[in-house]
Structure 1
Amino acid sequence: MRVFGEPMVSWDAHMPAGMLLKSTPVASSIDAPQRGHTLVDYCDAAGLPRLITDEDIIPVETFVGYGRWFQEKLVPGLERVRVVSVDQRQAGGFEVKLDSGEQFAARAVVVATGLSGLARLPRELGAAAPDGPSPAGPVSHSAQHHDLTRYAGQELIVVGAGQSALETAVLAAEAGARVRVVARGRRSVAFGGPPWEQPKLRPESPFGRAWSLYAFSYYAQAYRHLPAGTRHYLTRRVLGPLGAWWLRERFEGKVEAREVRRIATAGTREGRPVLTVETLGGRSRELTADHVIAATGYRVDLAALSFLGHGLRARLAVSRGTPKLGPGYASSVPGLYFTGMLAGSSYGPVMRFVCGTEFASPRLARHLAAAYRS
């Protein structure tokens, strides 16, 4: 077996410095085949404060360190090169090419690329960035920012209502920017309650106390049997936009929140972005700033996975741009597997989170072992 990629690159390079994870410690450990590799184990090994309770908050730097420690312990043979293409071979299996120039045959391929290439920029905002989103241009995506101090003293609009939008806005404001959050819908900017306010008579899950969250966390196997429309709806809406309970105090009174019906158009005037929004009252209003950050999340779209050959992608059974997966995370192309966020529409919203590895990893490994035992 060979494993390729750069460990924790999305978290290290595409998340803002000073970020704190919304997920709790119990939801942030990577599944391992043996004991001794949880987030708490890493904290002990690194001499850091133990992160155990739901009230403990995880700095992104600690999480990046944990992921790299996990890799060094359990996947020491990781090859830090990029896969540039995967194509089917007529004789069976796949032809894999690396950016190092190496080319080889593989019987099976597991795609676990996380958020890479899946940043979503709404079409109306894209009109203000015809050359693509960029921190140096009028519009960027939140995944393009590591250092928000570049906007100190500037007017900034952050579009979105989830944790990414609200925390990006707070960090930019704390760095000296004048920040407005523009979110779609009435009461769209909201924060969760602290853990001690969670209802006690509901089952626990890594995401909180609720029967639905418990089912999504521990019975994901049944999710793929739901009707396609239901699956896509739940994947999009469950655990939807909501700020962390600990972020509210840093947000209120420091960041302006503007809730609108929709962003109608976006453009530029003298190099500055201009948004035309429809207010909740139905009126049209212009909003201007020095820069707009679209904290509008990620969307699975196989077309964005350019390393998968066009012929291979054409043979995949898909549903709304996402791979349709069977038992063991197997796609419709024999030998090709998808996991992580790429498996969300088949196995549910738990696949968007690190704790989803507890469900996915052993099932995928068993399927691979059974299919390629010899």
Structure 2
Amino acid sequence: MSNATPPRAPQPPESRVEPLGASAPLAELSPAYFGMVMATGIVSIAAQLLDHPTLARALFALNLVAYTVLWALNALRALRYRAHFLGDLVDHLRGPGFFTSVAATSIVGSQFLILAKNSRAAVALWCVAVVLWVGLTYTVFTGLTIKRNKPSLDQGISGAWLLAVVATQSIAALSALLAAHIGQPVKLELNFLALSMWLWGGMLYIWMMSLIFYRYTFFPLEPGDLSPPYWINMGAMAISTLAGSLLILNSPDAPFLLSLLPFLKGFTVFYWATGTWWIPMLLVLALWRHVYRRFPLRYDPLYWGAVFPLGMYAASTDRLIEAMGIGFLSFVPRAFFSIALIAWSAAFVGLAVELLRGSRPRSGG
């Protein structure tokens, strides 16, 4: 008989990387953290639209730093913690968070166009956003479709799924903006792409919201289930309103948009009305969560997903007023811009406190 010990089973890849001590936050970095760039970018754009140029440019500068840092952190995470990164791509709850990178890229591109008048940077970011959208759409949804072990509907779906809609509509909005700033031969093509993405985003919202509303009404809902990305229920409609308004404004330069003008106007108001309906509902649910059920209110990176819809609602309503000539709504963008700015400030303070806590030396034990 041999006294040789049996060979040790191979360790999973993560265990061969340095222990998860100080690097653990990087391993668990939320794919949805680009929501910070989305929120900061749209508050910056809303500030510019509502005549606060100094604030808009300050937020633009901050957003460029945040966008660069987040790409560096995500690249480092993909290299050092590949299993975590790839696992998140096909995770029902975390996978849709990757679509924040698409929306963030499109919004930074829009900032370059609106604030800096830099169409070259905007085009470059538009290209990046399109590549990301194609790659993530057919990776995330294929992975979720073919994986063997799947959660039940109530455990596997959340408002974060609507980030795929936001990503789609962000490309529609940036394409429409570029079409308004760039001449032929690509003006018509960009407008057609914007129209196509706008229509697909609306269809995707109907599919996903049907499942989310079914989960709302036919499964038990605990305070912990009502995470901040549920505000994307409204945010997805707000950015759809923005893209539709930009298409209406572009219609004189594109004959096919001009022929669809009644349809464009009707559906844009439909999106705005749907987003508006969600606001009281989400406020009531937030009160139920934090006041009635006393769920603690503390910083979470997902809260950027609640700031973004508020800023987007302000910006989209401002563009809707211009596109439809409905000046009686002029009080809405300024009111929601103030609310969005307060929410952004609270999230930013929460992030700063979290970073300060993480930088304090831990007492050894």
User: Could you say whether these structures have the same fold, taking a TM-score greater than 0.5 normalized by the shorter chain as the test?
Assistant: no
TM, length-normalised to structure 1: 0.30
| Structure with greater proportional helix content | 2
